[in-house]
Amino acid sequence: MREIIKLACIGCEHPGKSAYFTTKNKKTSKEKLVVRKYCKFCRKHVEHKETKV
């Protein structure tokens, strides 16, 4: 079963503003998802970590 998750920027001055939404299968991947994405506030590619929706 796939669930919607929110990816928030790590190390940003504006926590929670730079966010991406995606889905993941919670049965197969138990750990939190970490992906390198572009943050428009940092103006660079940084890690985005899974947070609560």
What tens-digit pLDDT sequence spans the chain (53 residues)? 899 999 999 888 776 677 899 999 989 999 999 999 999 888 999 999 998 88
> What pLDDT score does 34 carry?
94
On whether the CB atoms of residues 3 and 23 are closer than 8 A, the answer is yes
> What pLDDT score does 14 carry?
72
Tell me the residue type at 33.
L
Fold classified for 2-51: Rubrerythrin, domain 2 (2.20.28)
In the block, which residue shows the tokens 């970490």? Answer: 34
> What pLDDT score does 12 carry?
83
**How many angstroms separate the CA atoms of 28 and 16, rounded?**
26
> What pLDDT score does 17 carry?
78
Residue 53 in tokens = 């929706």
> What is the domain partition of the chain in residue ranges?
2-51
> What pLDDT score does 27 carry?
92
